[in-house]
A and B are shown apart, each in its own frame.
Chain A
Amino acid sequence: MKNLAPLILFFSLLFALPPKAVAQQPKTADAQSSYDNGSYITAAELYENQIAAGDTSNPYLYYNLANSYFKAGDPDKAIINYYRAFKLLPRDKDIRGNLAFALADTGQRLTPEGVPATAFNLYHFFSLGELKGLMWAGLWLFAFALMFFVLSDRKVLGKKLLIIAAILTVFFGGWHLLRLPSESKRLAVVVAPRAEVRSGPGDSFVVSLNVPRAHLVSIIDSKGDWAQVEVNSQAQGSGWVLKNTIEEI
């Protein structure tokens, strides 16, 4: 275990490094200039164009797009894009902070009630993709450690490597599996002034809940123009809403 501590410390420091500063592309500079001038809609359009052009793995593009929408007074689009950024880089305190701010502005919470913020932040230190990568990296390390142990005469070193790899694989694999069910949920945000939650997929069914704009729901199923959703707010419940009243994150 003494040998494992520096390794964990190294990993933590590696991921806690600030984001890699990059030279601004002309489009990014234009978008930032529009944002600075208060032309938030123009800024949002420019960021949307960059994402549409294929830059879908950069969390900061979604974050900046969300900021533009938030400033333009469009909380639903802001929350959608903050969540997209949060899914890619949950440990960034600005992304997390702005998502929590936008949710609080619409009466929602990022941290579940009763859960300490530090525990929530630690639990979401890695993105689901990173945890999956760490799990597979652990398995690869285990395989190479096993080869080394079998083929090399340095049995003691081989044994240590084997134990470290096994622990990392179980740790990150378990973490990944723990988060998988909750994060595999298809989250969506209400983008209409309100979404009427009905007891069935059709206008003939009674409305049981009204979910206001920018509120989160989870998609369970879909049928034609209707989606079955679970409401993620204090008024718990599920039902069917028109697909065009929500947008999946």
Chain B
Amino acid sequence: MNFKKLFLSLFFVLASLCAYAEVQITANVNKTLVDTSEDITLTITVKAPTTRDLSPIMPSLPNFNIYASGQDISRGMINGKVSSVQVFTYLLTPRFAGKSTIGSFTVNVDGQTYTTEPIEVEVYRAGQGNAKTSLNKTKKPAKNAAYTAANNSQIVQTLTNIAAAAAKNAASQSEAKAADAKNKISQVAPDFFMTAKTDKTTAYLNEQITLKIRFYQAFSTLGNPLYDRPKMEGLISEEIKTSTGYETIGSRQFAFTEFDIAVFGIVPGQAKIGSAAISYNVADSAMDAFDLFFSGRTGITKKVETAPIDISIRPLPKDGKPTSFYGAVGADYKINAEVDNSATQAGAPITLTVSISGNGNMRAIGNLPPPDLGGSFRVYETTSSSSTKIQNTLVGGTKVYKTIIVPRATGKYNIAPIEFSYFDTNEKIYKTIKLNDISLEVSPAAQETSEASAVSFAGDNPAQARVEKLSDDISYIKNGQLSLPSKILLFIANLGKINYLVFFFIAAALLFYFIDKGSIDLLSSRRALLKAKKAIIKAKELDGVSDALEDYLEAKLGEPIGSKTMENVSQKLALSAGLSAKLNGLWEEFSMLKYAPSSMVNAETLEDSAKKTLNLIEEIEKEIR
């Protein structure tokens, strides 16, 4: 029984550890039914037993313009193991009306790939309000963006600076005061408290809100206080700085630690900065300094926290939103574009670098479209990197886009002016910055140069000018079908076993052939009879009739008659004496009529001879069958 309990306990401990160690990635959108003028906020939450950056790999999303809106990482420890909850936010602007799928995002952790479920989104054209209403009735409500820091995880941060400040303060206090404080240990709360305030409670999407959290302490704590960051709902945060100082409140002097945090709204609507909390240890009333020093006891744990703050996030104005707006919100943006080599050779890669700097959340700026260079360049995928710079309490920085382009042909080219727009939070308007063209001169590649120089004397003479190949590209699409002969051939090829019938026909033909050639005279005999009859009927002279008889007899004999007499023929065909006599008589009649005067051979004679011949053939056929 005890073993069972032990086993079950171990099982549950292991199961909970395994569950914790598991990597989880989820994707949520704030709405699944939008019009083409609205944005969708997509939140990817990655929970993993690691604190390294786990930026997800995006699927191809051709139906949306994508703007990375921010990244928030909460690191913590559970059961002595590091963990993190990383939240990546993207703003998706639909490009087309219709149903679209946001494909699976993936992260790789220790060689394992984890993916999110695809999300179906329906986009309708702006202005189709009825469609939205009716569709809303049938669709499930979209999940709200689950943007919370790691719930229940104890985010631990050692506040060494707090301890140091408090120690300084404590050193200046008298021992009597410390003893008094010890006596009032049950009423310690007023000696420690926290405040949280923001510079504004209403802001535009991605506009910076500065949050200041202060932890006041009248005397030092035992050990290091533990700080729990405020949970953000609909917001992302970026730490600006931590500072310490003193402040006199009433008649008491407090040491304080201030955490300055930049907060950005990522979803229009109501957002919330949750409570920040600090846990600290103080000596309990039963302990004296000796106990504290030698017993190693840590005293009793207390906790103070701030009140939550509601923030209202306004959407960016739709009116006047330029097409070159990629999500930048803030002030004092600047843009610069340059190529590393403006005079290059065909086929040699050039790097086009576009840098955007200013005050605002750089990670909210989406990818710039690739430069429009026509077909004369091969343009590779743009890579981007961003760096953060904090001036006073303003978060800013630089985002750099690098695109490799390879000229395919020689000539002079201008990279079209690059435009970039941002929403100025000071003036509450969109502003557009436009750069000048970038000129490129592409000379022939090394092997082409010598060829070109060889014909350079051609000059401008049109007669000697040659066709210059500017670029290579695939051929255009075409419509058509396979030609009829091809279709017939494929039909024959696909006849399958029916095709094997051909061998039957060949075998049959060969059989007929050998029968025809062999001693079995069925066909040739029959054919000789038909042929003779045909020739006799068609004969216009007596010679035609006699020739037909001769051919018939040769066919029956299988050899030419030559000098054979009719007696020989009759013998070879084994004819009866009567029939042999008839054959002899008829043959002699033909011989006689052949040399008779023409007045004796008339139509009647011909008809009579033909009849006699036909009768004779019929009789021979009957006899030799």
Instruction: Point out residues on A near B: beta carbons under 8 Å.
Output: 14-15, 17-22, 24, 28, 32, 35, 41-42, 57-60, 63-64, 67-68, 70-73, 88-89, 94, 97-98, 101-102, 127, 129-130, 132-134, 136-137, 139-140, 142-144, 146-147, 149-151
Contacts and interface: CB of A to CB of B under 8 A. Distances in A.
A72 to B, nearest CB: 7
Nearest to B506: A143
B539 to A, nearest CB: 19
Contact of B478 (A94, A102, A146): A94
With most chain A CB atoms within 10 A of its CB, the pick from B476, B485, B486 is B486
A97 B475 contact: yes
Closest 3 CB pairs of A and B: A133-B489, A19-B480, A133-B493
B166 to A, nearest CB: 53
Contacts of A41: 62-63
Contacts of B474: 67, 70-71, 97-98, 101-102
Given A137-B489, A143-B505, A143-B509, A21 B484 contact: no
Contacts of A28: 479
Given A19-B482, A22-B480, 4 more contacts: A15-B483, A42-B96, A89-B486, A147-B505
B11 interface: no
B295 interface: no
B481 A142 contact: no
B483 A17 contact: yes
Contact of B505 (A98, A130, A144): A144
B489 A134 contact: yes
A94 B502 contact: no
B427 to A, nearest CB: 35
Interface string B489-500: 111111100010
Contacts of B490: 57, 129-130, 133
A143 B479 contact: no
Interface in B457-516: 472-486, 488-495, 499, 502, 505-506, 508-510, 512-513, 516
Nearest to A57: B482
14 contacts: A18-B480, A19-B482, A21-B479, A22-B480, A24-B479, A42-B96, A67-B477, A88-B482, A98-B474, A130-B486, A133-B491, A140-B499, A150-B510, A150-B513
Given A129-B490, A146-B509, A94 B475 contact: yes
B387 to A, nearest CB: 27
Contacts of A97: 474-475
Nearest to B478: A60
Contacts of A72: 62
Interface of B: 62-63, 96, 381, 472-486, 488-495, 499, 502, 505-506, 508-510, 512-513, 516
A89 B482 contact: yes
B477 A32 contact: yes
A139 B482 CA distance: 23
Contacts of B508: 147
Contacts of B472: 101
Given A130-B490, A150-B509, A136 B502 contact: yes
A3 B474 CA distance: 42
A150 B512 contact: yes
Given A129-B493, A133-B489, A133-B493, A60 B505 contact: no
A97 B473 CA distance: 10
B406 to A, nearest CB: 11
Contacts of A151: 512
A98 B475 contact: yes
Contacts of A42: 96
Contact of A21 (B475, B480, B493, B506): B480
With most chain A CB atoms within 10 A of its CB, the pick from B475, B499, B510 is B475
A32 B510 CA distance: 56
A20 B62 contact: no
B456 to A, nearest CB: 30
A73 B490 CA distance: 34
Given A28-B479, A64-B477, A70-B474, A139 B502 contact: yes
Nearest to B380: A73
Nearest to B513: A150
A27 to B, nearest CB: 11
Nearest to B379: A73
B481 A14 contact: no
A127 B485 CA distance: 12
B493 A130 contact: yes
Nearest to B486: A130
B493 A132 contact: yes
A146 B511 CA distance: 11
Contacts of A58: 481-482
A63 B477 contact: yes
Contact of A60 (B96, B481, B492, B512): B481
A143 B510 CA distance: 10
A19 B96 CA distance: 35
A101 B485 CA distance: 29
Nearest to B473: A101
Contact of B483 (A20, A35, A140, A150): A20
B548 to A, nearest CB: 16
B373 to A, nearest CB: 14
A73 B382 CA distance: 13
Given A57-B490, A142-B506, A136 B477 contact: no
A58 B478 CA distance: 11
A93 B79 CA distance: 67
Nearest to A144: B505
Contacts of A68: 477
Contacts of A144: 505
B492 A133 contact: yes
Contacts of A147: 505, 508-509, 512
With most chain A CB atoms within 10 A of its CB, the pick from B483, B491, B494 is B483
A146 B96 CA distance: 66
Nearest to A102: B474
A208 B477 CA distance: 39
B489 A130 contact: yes
Contacts of B473: 101
B36 to A, nearest CB: 15
B492 A136 contact: yes
Contacts of B494: 129
A49 B33 CA distance: 25
Contacts of A70: 474
Nearest to A142: B506
A42 B96 CA distance: 10
A205 to B, nearest CB: 14
Contact of B489 (A101, A129, A146, A149): A129
A128 B248 CA distance: 93
A35 B475 CA distance: 13
Given A136-B493, A150-B509, A19 B516 contact: no
Contact of A32 (B63, B479, B480, B513): B479
A146 B504 CA distance: 12
A146 B512 CA distance: 10
A86 to B, nearest CB: 13
